[in-house]
């Protein structure tokens, strides 16, 4: 039974749920658990912003009860219909019988499609529309594709508080609710962004442009930590990731059966490192793909390796290719490498895929037959060196 009360500003409370055991959030690796944030505004109209994932409705209601009887809720703001935020609405309209579900026209359409047979008491709001809560006012801003077409954010005008839904969110379970109380937020924020948001980078930039003149003191997302200090810094990180996320660094990823491609991968990494460019290396069978994807987003160059399995790239590399594609890697340098026994095929397939993803530059692939010789490893080292030099030249 939760007892803590987290007050963002007077009369605005965090009432979400913490999933300490979460390790996989629809494919996103979450080694530090997850959070579903909901917020309760106490005013003349009692208002709940978003709800929580399935199985956490009781935790949400228990937190609300530490502040007020849920039956007193007047408005439930539905900013985004994805079930990690909307799964509690059916139960809430039972315990809060006078509450209206405040959402966009599209939000209502999506909610009814997700929960057929439930007659939600909708109050439809427009982009830019406002809702008086008594002493304070909520303003709604449509931010389509951040992260679904119906997504909107809500701005509590008098407090300069932005409820940003998925934007600026991360998956992390923590006893602290604010980002300034937690040291290691960069990696979970980057993973969440690269896996869930980066594909929609252009809509994110549009949303940032749309809200750029709005004074904001607090950003309260629907996952993870709340931002109340150095807001400029977090907004700049989002702008960078949504425009050109690349840093002067490289990445080598590979999969192998008997170790030949691994030897090549390490020689390439050493070649990159010899130029002074930092270079991470990941075995695609050992590390979670969404962990690697965050590093791939910030890498200027990526060397993608696989041995040839029959005629194709070995399966772990094939499975990772969409993770690269969804980063929209148009400013990156790519190259394929790998070993084969007789027919080959892996590196030409990877090269085709990198080209189809519109990599800024795709180098000729590097193949090794059977086991790499000392001469082959020198070629790998030289390829890495070339990659490193290209990365340096780009900054």
Partner residues linked to 41 by β-bridges? 12, 47
184 Cβ contact partners less than 8 Å away, ≥ 6 residues apart:
none
Q: Does 80 bind ligand FEO (CB under 6 A)?
A: yes
- State CA 283 to chain mean position distance: 22
* Nearest distance, CB of residue 209 and ligand FEO, angstroms: 21
Catalytic pick from 39, 80, 193, 340? 80
Give the C-alpha separation, 66 to 85, whole Å: 21
Give the C-alpha separation, 243 to 23, whole Å: 29
By beta-carbon proximity to ligand FEO, the closer residue of 222 and 339 is 222
Q: Which of 228, 232, 194, 192 is nearest to 212 (CA)?
A: 232
Beta pairing, strands 247-255 & 279-283: parallel
Catalytic pick from 13, 36, 39, 192? 192
Q: Which of 284, 224, 222, 220 is nearest to 251 (CA)?
A: 284
Q: Does 150 bind ligand FEO (CB under 6 A)?
A: no
Residues in contact with ligand FEO, shown as a per-residue x/- string from 221 to 240 under the rule CB under 6 A: -xx-----------------
Establish whether 223 is a catalytic residue.
yes
Q: Does 376 bind ligand FEO (CB under 6 A)?
A: no
Establish whether 266 is a catalytic residue.
no
- Are 337 and 305 spatial neighbours (Cβ–Cβ below 8 Å)? yes
* Nearest distance, CB of residue 200 and ligand FEO, angstroms: 10
* Nearest distance, CB of residue 25 and ligand FEO, angstroms: 9
By beta-carbon proximity to ligand FEO, the closer residue of 144 and 345 is 144
Give the C-alpha separation, 212 to 128, whole Å: 14
Considering Cα of 263, then 265, then 266, then 267, what sign does the dihedral take? positive
Determine which residue in the list 45, 63, 147, 385 makes contact with ligand FEO, applying CB under 6 A. 147
* Nearest distance, CB of residue 223 and ligand FEO, angstroms: 6
* Nearest distance, CB of residue 133 and ligand FEO, angstroms: 24
By beta-carbon proximity to ligand FEO, the closer residue of 151 and 351 is 151
By beta-carbon proximity to ligand FEO, the closer residue of 53 and 133 is 53
Strands, DSSP E only, in 87-136?
A: 100-103, 122-124, 130-132
Q: Does 171 bind ligand FEO (CB under 6 A)?
A: no
Partner residues linked to 161 by β-bridges? 156, 218
Q: Does 82 bind ligand FEO (CB under 6 A)?
A: yes
Binding interface with ligand FEO (CB under 6 A): 80, 82, 84-85, 147, 166, 222-223
Active site residues: 26, 80, 82, 84, 147, 166, 192, 223
């Amino acid at each position: 039974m939760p007892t803590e009360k987290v007050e963002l500003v007077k009369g605005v409370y965090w009432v979400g749920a913490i999933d300490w055991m979460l390790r996989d959030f629809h494919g996103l690796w979450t080694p530090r658990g997850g959070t579903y944030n909901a917020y309760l505004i106490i005013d003349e109209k009692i208002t709940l912003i978003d709800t929580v994932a399935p199985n956490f409705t009781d935790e949400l209601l228990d937190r609300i009860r530490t502040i007020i009887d849920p039956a007193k809720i007047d408005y439930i703001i539905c900013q985004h219909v994805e079930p990690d935020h909307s799964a509690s609405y059916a139960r809430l309209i039972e315990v809060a019988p006078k509450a209206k579900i405040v959402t966009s026209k599209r939000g209502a359409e999506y909610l009814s499609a997700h929960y057929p047979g439930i007659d939600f008491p909708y109050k439809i709001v427009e982009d830019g529309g406002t809702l008086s809560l008594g002493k304070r006012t909520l303003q709604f801003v449509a931010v389509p594709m951040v992260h679904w077409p119906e997504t909107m954010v809500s701005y509590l005008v008098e407090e300069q508080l932005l409820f940003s839904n998925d934007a600026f969110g991360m998956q992390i379970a923590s006893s602290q609710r604010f980002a300034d109380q937690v040291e290691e937020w960069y990696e979970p924020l980057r993973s969440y962004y690269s896996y869930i948001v980066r594909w929609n980078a252009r809509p994110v930039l549009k949303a940032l442009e749309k809200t750029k003149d709005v004074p904001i003191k607090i950003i309260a997302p629907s996952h993870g930590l709340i931002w109340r200090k150095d807001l400029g810094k977090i907004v700049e990180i989002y702008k960078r990731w949504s425009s050109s996320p690349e840093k002067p660094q490289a990445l080598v990823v590979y999969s192998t059966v008997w170790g030949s491609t691994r030897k090549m991968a390490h020689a390439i990494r050493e070649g990159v490192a010899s130029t002074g460019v930092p270079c991470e290396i990941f075995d695609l069978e050992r590390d979670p793909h969404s962990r690697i994807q965050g590093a791939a987003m910030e890498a200027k160059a990526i060397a993608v390796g696989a041995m040839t399995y029959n005629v194709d790239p070995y399966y772990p590399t094939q499975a990772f290719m969409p993770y690269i594609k969804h980063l929209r890697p148009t400013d990156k340098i790519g190259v394929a490498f790998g070993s084969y026994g007789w027919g080959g095929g892996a590196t030409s397939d990877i090269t085709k895929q990198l080209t189809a993803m519109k990599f800024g530059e795709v180098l000729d692939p590097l193949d090794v037959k059977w086991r790499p010789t000392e001469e082959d490893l020198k070629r790998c080292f030289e390829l890495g060196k070339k990659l490193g030099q290209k990365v340096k030249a780009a900054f």
